[in-house]
Amino acid sequence: MQSLFKATTSGVLVIGSFRWCRAAILILYLLLGGCTSLNWVAVRKVPRNPLEQPLRLLSRTGPRPTGRTTQLLRRYDLDRHLNGGSDKLLAEMQQVLSQEPTTENYYAYAELSYIAGKKAQDRGEIGHALDFYGTSVAHSYFYLFDESLGRYRNAYDPQFRRACDIYNGALEETLRLIQEEGHLRPGYSYRVHTPHLNFDVSVVARGKWKPDELEKFEFVSDYKVTGLTNHHRTYGLGVPLIAVRQSKDSDAHDTRVNSVERYYPSGVTFPVTALLKVLPSRRVPGTREMPRSCVLELLDPLQSTDVQLAGHVVPLESDFSTPLAYFLDNPQFRDQNLATLGLLNSEKLYNIRGLYMLESYDAGKIPVLMVHGLWSSPVTWMEMFNDLRASRDIRDAYQFWFYLYPSGQPFWISAAQLRRDLKHIREVLDPRHRSAAMDQIVLVGHSMGGLVSKLQTVSSGDVFWKTVSERPFNQLRATDEVRRELAETLFFEPNPSVRRVITIATPHRGSEFSNSATRWLGHKLIALPNLLAKANGRLRRENPNYFRDDNLLDITTSIDSLAADSPIFPVVLESPKAPWVHYHNIVGKIDPSGWFGKISNEGDGVVDLSSARLQYIESEIVVPADHLNVHRHPRSVLEVRRILREHLNGLRAGRAYLPYPVRPAWHVGKPTKP
């Protein structure tokens, strides 16, 4: 039994195995919380369609018009054609419409054309179905936008919203048919024939992406989001699509590739809304009316969810969550796959580590860079990303980037890599430093990622080096490569483009998670990069009696680096911070009466409250959440949104924000003393 105990300096006996048991529970907790086998989307048996109930699309007898349209047909003695062919009914309805072009008649004709398209499609008459759907789109468009009907349109009439649904539904069916023929792509043109008018349609892409970037399209209505808590969409006109980006053949993360291409992950998807505009008639008096020209626009709702249409500001129907979930459903982006690879085999992650974008780069939007923590990956941010992007003012002003790094290595090495990557992305995207938005970067770091982020904003001087050795750095014997790596890691200045740092559940003074048990396991399980392992041994041999005992070079894993007795934490806390940077903090705190709270100190279960809190910050909130979920908690998302809005409000108001004079509005460059 004595092997289970050890004596403390005060003579109190404590159970030595408790630390191992607690370590095992923590690791199991992290493992179970991080292993996500869920599917992000599920394929619907039947595509989502708001017309399903009002038109009884799935009934055994086939689709039927609404009661209101049936009543209109009775008024004109046309209901006798309901059980006959669609052509006869539409022909007579067309005569009624030509004599009485009212909103009611336009709507009825659009609805009946949609039903006729469904029936033709069920019979396999694809050409007729396409024409009927085109007729439905055109006449619902006329109902909504024809100037002659302006005084009769009633936006409070339920039929008005159903006309929008008819437009959207008929347009989606049209797009599905032309996609089957491979014609749903920018630059393509086709003609839709109707009984009395033809429409020439051209497909045009309007967004930050280039037309050749869009490899294929999927329909949002085919999928149900299952892996995200909230499903964000806007309501209006248009067909929400999932645009799958065309991946290039080059190595996306080859540092020699100086283009934005290297920052897009393979198979990334963008939200797109397809909208058909019917252009004004080109008929010349005394001649027959020419075919009406239409433009099928593929719009980027991340740029705007409104569009000018026939002199009106029209909201777009859009979906932000489904394209994101569709991308995340790719097995190679499963959180635990990347997280475990980054923790246990850092060297293998080096080929894919770096900055990533999940939306098209926009020089006018402020980057928000999200940095994950230990045993994690950028996937951990998807709940917050999904919710933040739902706010129009946030997505209009900000673009979200993500950092993937090997979380098995000490966090100051990851910080040095991030410094290089931020410098490189500026050289690639804005080499002449003309983008004012790139000088307003906001970093958001969870757990160890908060430390990586904070190290972008402090000045090292020589205090970091002094944790390694009392002797001058220039006397160190090392290869040029090792000397450069050490210099970049231990000597640095704050990044002038980073203006805010938000740390979430960050162990600013270390974590008890890093104890003798977890550190022992870390050394057994974490495979260090060959260069790092070999360099440390060679440095020792070539520089005898040069290094301090227990210096930073002896700390070879991230778990070691997070120990509360690590020499780096006092240095980071006391290092001079950039005066232009604003700091915010979010802290997690679990219920102490719960099972996990009973075996943990006060805090989030991994980071103690005393380590997570800071004094020199502008704001701090405590969130009732554990370490794995604090950055997903609604209060954390709301706090990050509040901070981002605060940042925008200050910039737009022209407040200095810095102790130095700056340019007006939010065009703030590198701070310089007068």
Instruction: Name the H helices within 594-633.
Output: 595-598, 609-612
Average pLDDT over the chain, rounded to an integer: 85
CA angle 204, 295, 260 (to 5 degrees): 15
- 103-122 helix and 158-180 helix, angle to the nearest 10 degrees: 30
Considering only 142-156, 212-226, 257-271, 306-320, which range has the smallest mean pLDDT?
Answer: 257-271
- Which residues is 608 bridged to in the sheet? 603
Contacts for 153 with CB less than 8 Å, ≥ 6 apart: 103, 143, 144, 160
Of 244-248, 322-326, 385-389, 574-578, the poorest mean pLDDT is in 244-248
pLDDT at 476 over 70: yes
Model confidence at 27, pLDDT cuts 50, 70, 90, reads: low
Higher pLDDT, 459 or 201: 459
Output the pTM of the full model: 0.88
Sorted by sequence, the CB contacts under 8 Å of residue 144 that are 6+ apart come out as 153, 160, 163, 164, 167, 237
Q: What is the mean pLDDT of residues 348-375?
A: 90
The pLDDT, as a whole number, for residue 529 is: 55
Provide φ and ψ at 221, rounded to 5°. Answer: -65, -10
Q: What is the structure's pLDDT at 551?
A: 77
| 326: its two tokens | 């569709």
Domains of the chain with CATH codes: 67-321 (no CATH), 345-653 (3.40.50.1820)
How many percent of the chain have pLDDT more than 70? 81
Q: What is the mean pLDDT of residues 362-379?
A: 94
Model pLDDT for residues 166-222, shown as the tens digit of each residue:
999 999 999 999 999 888 888 888 777 766 667 788 899 998 888 888 899 999 999
664's torsion region: left (phi>0), alpha (psi -120 to 50) or beta? Answer: beta
Size (the chain), residues: 674
DSSP for 109-174, please give it: HHHHHHHHHHHHHHTT-HHHHHHHHHHHHHHHHHHHH-GGGTTT--TTSHHHHHHHHHHHHHHHHH
Beta bridge partners, 115, equal: none
Q: What is the pLDDT of residues 57-74, one digit of tens each?
A: 999 888 999 999 999 999
Q: Round to whole Å and give the CA distance between 186 and 104.
A: 35
Q: What is the pLDDT of residue 160?
A: 97
Q: What is the pLDDT of residues 263-302, one digit of tens each?
A: 999 899 999 999 998 887 665 444 455 677 889 999 999 9
Of 455, 311, 439, residue with least CA distance to 366: 439
Q: In 235-334, which ranges are continuous DSSP H helix? A: 321-328
Please determine, for residue 257, whether its predicted confidence score (pLDDT) is greater than 60: no
pLDDT tens column, 614-667: 988 999 999 999 999 999 999 999 999 999 999 999 998 875 343 333 333 333
Coarse DSSP helix, strand, coil percentages of the chain, rounded to the nearest 5 percent:
40, 20, 40
The answer to whether the beta carbons of residues 562 and 448 sit under 8 Å apart is yes
Give the Cα separation of 114 and 167 in Å (integer).
9
- pLDDT score, position 74: 96
Could you read off the pLDDT of 595-617 as tens digits, one per residue?
666 667 899 999 999 999 998 89
pLDDT of residue 1 exceeding 60:
no
**Residue 555: partners with Cβ closer than 8 Å, 6 or more residues away:** 410, 561, 566
The pLDDT of residue 671 is 36
**Predicted confidence (pLDDT) per residue in 503-557, tens digit:** 999 999 998 776 655 655 555 555 555 555 667 778 888 998 898 877 788 788 8
With cut-offs at 50, 70 and 90, classify the pLDDT of residue 674.
very low
- Most confident range (mean pLDDT) of 10-19, 241-250, 265-274 is 265-274
DSSP 369: E
pLDDT digits (tens, 9 = 90+) for 316-357: 999 999 999 999 998 766 545 666 555 655 656 667 889 999
